[in-house]
Structure 1
Amino acid sequence: MKSGFVSIIGRTNAGKSALVNSLLEEKITLVSHKQNATRRKIKAIVMHEKDQIIFIDTPGLHKSSATLNQMLVESAIKAMGDCDLILFVASVFDDLKNYEEFLTLKPKVPHIIVLNKVDLTDNATLLKKLNDYAKFSDHFKAIIPYSCKKKTYKKLLLDEIVKYLDEHEYFYDPDFLTPSSQKELYRDFILESIYENLSEELPYSSEVIVTKAKEKSNLIIIDAQIITDTHSHKAMLIGKDGITIKRIGKDARKKISQLAQNKILLNLYVIVKKNWQKDEDFLKKNLNYEE
C-alpha cells in the first residue's frame, strides 16, 4: 500500500484542472478556457488499485505584479515543496520556454511531464514534441502523453506516479473524492459559471464567498456573495431585470447538483468591495489565498 501527494504544476491554461477531473473521473475543479481561472489549491483523491494518490491542483504559473496574481503564483510554488512528486503539465502545442522556466525554480522532488491535449494533434507533431523534450531527460523521470477527454495512457500515468510514492497508510478515507470542504467546491462552481457567462475581463474582477451551505434531507441551501470591485461591474453581473445573475445561478445549481446528487437552492448576492484584489488581509481572511 502506497499513499502520497502529487502537485500539478504548469502555466495557466495548460489543462491542469481538466487533468484532475479526468483522473478522478468526477468534476470537482473549476475548468475554464480563460487564463488564471484556478485560484485555490484543490485536492483530489484517486485510488489506483491499492494505492492512494492525492492530487493538488494549483494556480497556473505566470508573471504579474498584481497582489492577487503574485499570491496565486506563491501558492503554486509552495505546493512544489509540499508533495512527493510533481506533474508538470504542458499542452502539446506549447513551446519549451515554460518548462525551462519551471526548471529555474529548482524543484526539490522528482517530476513527470504530462504532455496534454494530444487528442488535438497528429502523431508526427507529438513525436516531434517528445523529441524536443528529450534534451531535458536528465531532469524528468518520465514524459507521458495524455488526453483528458479520451483518458489516453491513464493507467500508464498512474502506474508511473505510484513508483515515486512511499509505503504509507491512506491519508484519507478511500471513499472520499476530496478532503476539500463543500463550501470550497461550491464556490469554485459558482465562479466557473461567472467565467462562462460574462465577458473576458469581468470575471477577473469578481470573487465568490459561500456564507452558508445547509443540507436538509432532500435539499441543500446555499447563500453566496459575488464580490466585485465597482458598481458598474455589479450592474453587469446582475444584468437587465436580473437576467445575468439568474443565468449564473442556473448554471451553478446544475454543476453543484450533479456533484452533490441533491436538489440545490442557491441564493446569490452581489457585493461591491473596491480594490479587493489588492487587499492582502481580505484575500487571506475571506478567500483562503494564504494556503
Structure 2
Amino acid sequence: MKIISSYYGSVLLIGRTNAGKSTLLNFLVKKKISIVSHKRNTTNNNIIGVYNNDIYQIEFIDTPGNIFYKNKILKLLKNNKYDFILFILDKNKWNYIEDNFTKILSKINIPIILIINKIDQIKNKNILLPYINFLKKKINIFHLFIISAKYKLYTNDIYRIIYNNLPKKKHFYSKNYITNQTDQVIIKEIIRENIIKFIHKEIPYLVKIKVIFSKILLNKINILFLVKKINHKKIIIGKNSHNIKLIKNRSEKNIEKFFKKKIKLNIWIKIK
C-alpha cells in the first residue's frame, strides 16, 4: 500500500502598506479573506489564511503594513518559526521602511522569497535588472518573482517554489480551515471595503460597523453603521439613497460569494 506523505509550512508576508500583501494573500488562499484597498492601513491585525489540498497545507500570515519599525519587525520574527518569508515590494517606492526590512532580513536564516509587485505599472522594464542587482546586495534571496498580484500575472509559480521546499510534516489545521477571521469579522471587512470603495475621503474610517444580527443559516444579516455627524450620514446614504444602495448590493453579493449562500443584508445608520 502506497503511503502518501503530507507537507506543511508557515509563510510570513511582509512589506509596506499597499505593497499588495492582501491581494496576494487572497490569491494564495484562493479565497477573499483580507480587505483590499488603495487607501492606507486597511489591514490592522495579522490575518491567517490557509491553503489546503490533500498533500500540501500552507499557512500564510499577512501582517499590517504599519509594521516597519525595527523593533516591530524584530518582535514579529521573534519566537516564530516561519519556513519562508514573502517580502513584497512596490518597485515605485523605497525609503527607510524598506531599509528597515532589509537590514533585519539580511541577518536572519529564514529563506526569503522576494516579490516585486505591480509589474503592470512598470512601463520601462529595463529598470528591473539594476533594481534586482541592488536588492541582491541588500539581502540573500532564496527566489525572486516579478508579478502583478492584482492581475494575477506570474503568480502561480510561487506555489511551485513553496511546494518543492516544504518540510514533510503533519498538517496543523483541519482540511476545511481557511482563516482566523470570524464570520462577523469577514462580514464587517467586506462591508468596510465597499464603504471605502464608494465613499471617498476619510469618512469610511469614521464609520463604526456593528453586526447586530447574523445568522448565515437563516440567510439574514443586520448591520448598524454608527457615525458621529449628520452630514456623514447624508453622504453615506447619498442622493436618492444612491450610495447606501451601492454599498448594500455589492456587500450582499460579496458575502454570498464568500459563504456560498443567498443572504439578505439589512443596513441601518445611527448618529452616535
2:92 is paired with a residue whose SS is coil
| Alignment length (residue pairs) | 260
Give the match for residue 260 of structure 1: 259
Partners of 1:103 and 1:171 in 2: how far apart? 30
Partners of 1:35 and 1:77 in 2: how far apart? 23
Kindly report which structure 2 residues correspond to 1:1-291, keeping only aligned pairs within 5 A, or say none: 1-47=6-52, 50-61=55-66, 79-81=76-78, 82=80, 84=82, 85-95=84-94, 97-104=96-103, 110=110, 111-121=112-122, 122-138=124-140, 140-148=141-149, 149-155=151-157, 157-162=158-163, 165-216=166-217, 220-273=219-272
Q: Deviations over 1:219-257 (max 9, x none)?
A: 521122324343432332233453322221111111111
Name which of structure 1's ranges 169-178 and 51-60 shifts more when overlaid on structure 2. 169-178
Give the match for residue 283 of structure 1: none
Which amino acid in the other structure matches residue 269 of structure 2?
V
Partners of 1:162 and 1:117 in 2: how far apart? 24
Go from structure 1 to structure 2 and tell me whether the alpha carbon gap of 1:153 and 1:189 turns closer, same or farther (over 3 Å shift).
closer
Partners of 2:205 and 2:120 in 1: how far apart? 30
Please say if residues 51 and 59 of structure 2, whose CA atoms lie closer than 8 Å, have aligned partners that are also in contact: yes
Go from structure 1 to structure 2 and tell me whether the alpha carbon gap of 1:254 and 1:227 turns closer, same or farther (over 3 Å shift).
same
Partners of 1:43 and 1:153 in 2: how far apart? 19
2:16 is paired with a residue whose SS is coil
Partners of 1:119 and 1:13 in 2: how far apart? 15
- Give the CA deviation at 1:58: 2.3
Partners of 1:197 and 1:142 in 2: how far apart? 38
Go from structure 1 to structure 2 and tell me whether the alpha carbon gap of 1:91 and 1:168 turns closer, same or farther (over 3 Å shift).
same
Which amino acid in the other structure matches residue 137 of structure 1?
I
Which amino acid in the other structure matches residue 17 of structure 1?
S
Partners of 1:226 and 1:191 in 2: how far apart? 10
Residue segments in structure 2 that go unaligned for 5+ positions in a row:
1-5
Partners of 2:227 and 2:240 in 1: how far apart? 19
Q: Deviations over 1:95-130 (max 9, x none)?
A: 364321224556866233211122333532322321
Go from structure 1 to structure 2 and tell me whether the alpha carbon gap of 1:161 and 1:227 turns closer, same or farther (over 3 Å shift).
farther
Go from structure 1 to structure 2 and tell me whether the alpha carbon gap of 1:41 and 1:212 turns closer, same or farther (over 3 Å shift).
farther
Q: Deviations over 1:160-197 (max 9, x none)?
A: 33566543321222344334322121111000000001
Please say if residues 213 and 223 of structure 1, whose CA atoms lie closer than 8 Å, have aligned partners that are also in contact: yes
Partners of 2:152 and 2:163 in 1: how far apart? 21
Residue segments in structure 1 that go unaligned for 5+ positions in a row:
65-72, 274-291
- Give the CA deviation at 1:18: 0.8
Please say if residues 8 and 56 of structure 2, whose CA atoms lie closer than 8 Å, have aligned partners that are also in contact: yes
Go from structure 1 to structure 2 and tell me whether the alpha carbon gap of 1:146 and 1:236 turns closer, same or farther (over 3 Å shift).
same
Which amino acid in the other structure matches residue 32 of structure 2?
K
Partners of 2:103 and 2:270 in 1: how far apart? 40
Partners of 2:62 and 2:132 in 1: how far apart? 24
2:246 is paired with a residue whose SS is helix
Give the match for residue 276 of structure 1: none
Q: Deviations over 1:237-285 (max 9, x none)?
A: 2334533222211111111111122111112233445xxxxxxxxxxxx
Go from structure 1 to structure 2 and tell me whether the alpha carbon gap of 1:34 and 1:270 turns closer, same or farther (over 3 Å shift).
same
Name the larger-Rg structure.
2
Please say if residues 102 and 138 of structure 2, whose CA atoms lie closer than 8 Å, have aligned partners that are also in contact: no
1:225 is paired with a residue whose SS is strand
Which amino acid in the other structure matches residue 120 of structure 2?
D
Name which of structure 1's ranges 237-246 and 178-187 shifts more when overlaid on structure 2. 237-246
Go from structure 1 to structure 2 and tell me whether the alpha carbon gap of 1:100 and 1:229 turns closer, same or farther (over 3 Å shift).
farther
Structure-2-length-normalised TM-score: 0.81
Partners of 1:265 and 1:194 in 2: how far apart? 18
Partners of 1:133 and 1:49 in 2: how far apart? 36
